[in-house]
Homo-oligomer: A and B are copies of this chain.
Amino acid sequence: MAVPLFRIFAVRPTFCFTQILSESNRVHLLKMSTSEENSETPLIPLKEGRRFIVECLQAVGTPQKHAEAQADLLIEADYRGHFSHGMNRLQMYINDITSKTCDAKAVPKILQETPATAWVDGQNGLGAVVGNFCMDLAIKKAQTVGVGWVCAKESNHYGIAGMYAMQAMRQGLLGMSFTNSSPFMCPTRCKKAALGTNPLSLATPSKNDDNFVLDMATTSVAVGKIEIQRRKEKDAPIPEGWAQDHEGKITTDANVAYDAGLLMPLGGSEVHSGYKGFGLGMLVEIFCGILAGSNYGTNIRKWGNSIDKANLGQCFIAVDPKCFAPGFEDRMSDLMDTIRNCEPVDPSKPVLIAGDPERNHMKFVDSVGGVRYVKNQINTCKQLAEKLCVKPLNS
C-alpha cells in the first residue's frame, strides 16, 4: 500500500534542534516515519497508547479530563501518521508540567465576547485544553450566527493544528486553527529568525465521510526533512530554498542548515516568491499573537526553553456552510474527485488532496490494529513508566 506523501504533508518543524535533542532522539526522529517501517517493534493499539499517555499525565498531577484531552491530541497525530506530534511529544509536555512552566490544572476563561467572537485567557493551561475550549466556543457561535472567531492568549503548544479544525468539520462546519510558535522562520532578505513555523489548518466536510484537511506550516519544509537528508549520505545536499546558513545565505549543505536552524518561508528564495510564505507567516501571527495579545514574533521563547512561560497565541474559526449556497458538500466532493482523477505526471504517483495521505495512513493503522513506534520511542516510554510508576505500554 502506498502512502507516498504523508511524510511531507503537514509535518511541522518544531521538534528537533540540536540544543534540545539527545543523539538518541535524533536517531529516533530520523527513523520515525511510518508504522510500516518499524516491524521490529510491537504493535501498539491506539487505545493502549491513549491509556499510557493519560496515566503518565495523571502521574504528574494532571486532572483526568485534561490528561484525556492531551492524550486524544497525541494519539490522533500518531493515527494520522504525524509521529513527530504524537507520543514523541509526551516527554516534552511532562517536562513542562513538572517544571511548572505549564499549569496542567488550569481552566481557560472568556475575557470578552460577542455573538461571533471571544477573547480567551488560556491561563497557561495545556494546549489541548485551551484548544478544545476555544473550538467548542467557536462551533457554538457558528451554529448560532454563522461564524465563530475565537482568539486565546496564555496558551501552550497545541499539537497538530488540524485537531481543532477537524472538530468543527465533524459538526458539518468549516474549521480553521492557527498558532504562533518559537522563532524559526527567516523573513525574506533577513539574517535571523523572526517568526515561528506558524501553522494553519482548514478542515471541511464533504459527502460520504470524505473531507479536506489542510494542515501546514508556513515555512518551506520541516527541520526533520533537513535532518533526514543529512543522514542519508555524507554531504548529501538539500534543495535550494529550504534553509539559510548562519549568515542568512541560502545553503544546500544539510549540516550547515541543521546547525543554523534558519528555515525559509514557503516558496523559498525571493525569486521563488518566498515573500508570500513570509506574508502567510505574518497572517498567522496577526490572527494569533497580535489579536490575542500573547507573546509574538521574536518575543516568544526559543524552542527548548522550558523555564519561561510560552504564552502562545492561537486562533480558532468555525463557519457554517449552511449560511451560504445549499449543496456545499456536493460541490466539495465534486471538486476533490475531479482533481484526484486528473491525469498524473507520473502514473505511479496519483494526484492527492490535503488529507489523503493521512487517510491512507489511518486505513493502514486500522487494518493492522495499531501503530508501531520506533525503538527509541518504546525505550522512552519504558523509562517514563518506571519513573512515573505507571503500567508500561503494552502491545
Interface residues of A (CB under 8 A from B): 5, 8-9, 112-117, 119, 145-147, 149, 151, 153, 174, 187-192, 194-195, 202, 204, 212, 214, 216, 220-221, 239, 241-242, 244, 247-249, 266-268, 270-273, 275-280, 282-283, 285-286, 289-293, 296-298, 319-321, 323-328, 331-332, 335, 338-339, 342-346, 349-354
Closest B residue to A321 by CB, please name it: B291
Contact B291 A328 (CB under 8 A): yes
Residues of B within 8 A of A272 (CB): 220-221, 239, 241-242, 268, 272
B212 touches A286 (CB 8 A): yes
- For A298, give the chain B residue with the smallest CB separation: B338
Most buried by B among A189, A202, A270, A293: A189
Contact B146 A146 (CB under 8 A): no
Q: B319 and A149: CB pair below 8 A? A: yes
| A351: contacting residue among B119, B187, B204, B323, CB under 8 A | B187
Known: A216-B276, A267-B277, A285-B335. 12 other contacts (CB 8 A): A5-B275, A116-B145, A188-B351, A191-B344, A202-B283, A216-B273, A247-B345, A282-B335, A282-B353, A291-B325, A292-B324, A293-B331
Interface pair B290/A342, CB less than 8 Å apart: no
Residues of B with C-beta under 8 A to A247: 345
Q: Would A354 and B275 be within 8 Å (CB), given that A145-B115, A146-B116 are in contact? A: yes
Cα(A297)–Cα(B112), bound, Å: 40
A146 touching B114 in the complex, CB below 8 Å, given contacts A151-B324, A293-B326, A331-B290: yes
Q: Are A279 and B343 in contact (CB under 8 A)?
A: no
A324:B266 contact, CB within 8 angstroms: no
How many angstroms between the C-alpha atoms of A190 and B345 in the bound complex? 6
The 8 Å CB contact of A342, one of B116, B149, B194, B320, is B194
Chain B residues with Cβ below 8 Å from A278 are 354
- Contact status A114-B285, CB under 8 Å: no
Residues of B within 8 A of A344 (CB): 189-191, 248
Task: State A349–B248 Cα separation when bound (angstroms).
Answer: 13
7 shortest A-B CB distances, which residue pairs?
A: A293-B325, A117-B146, A248-B345, A114-B146, A214-B279, A117-B323, A116-B116
Cβ contacts under 8 Å, A324 to chain B: 112, 117, 119, 151, 291-293
Q: What are 29 sample pairs from A and B whose C-beta atoms fall under 8 A apart?
A: A112-B324, A115-B115, A115-B145, A116-B146, A119-B324, A146-B149, A147-B147, A151-B325, A174-B286, A187-B342, A188-B351, A190-B351, A191-B344, A202-B283, A202-B286, A214-B279, A216-B276, A239-B271, A241-B268, A266-B273, A272-B272, A275-B354, A278-B354, A279-B354, A282-B353, A289-B335, A292-B324, A297-B335, A297-B339
Q: Within 8 Å CB of A244, what residues of B?
A: 345
- Give the distance in Å from the alpha carbon of A280 to the alpha carbon of B276 in the complex: 11
Contacts of A249 in B (CB 8 A): 345
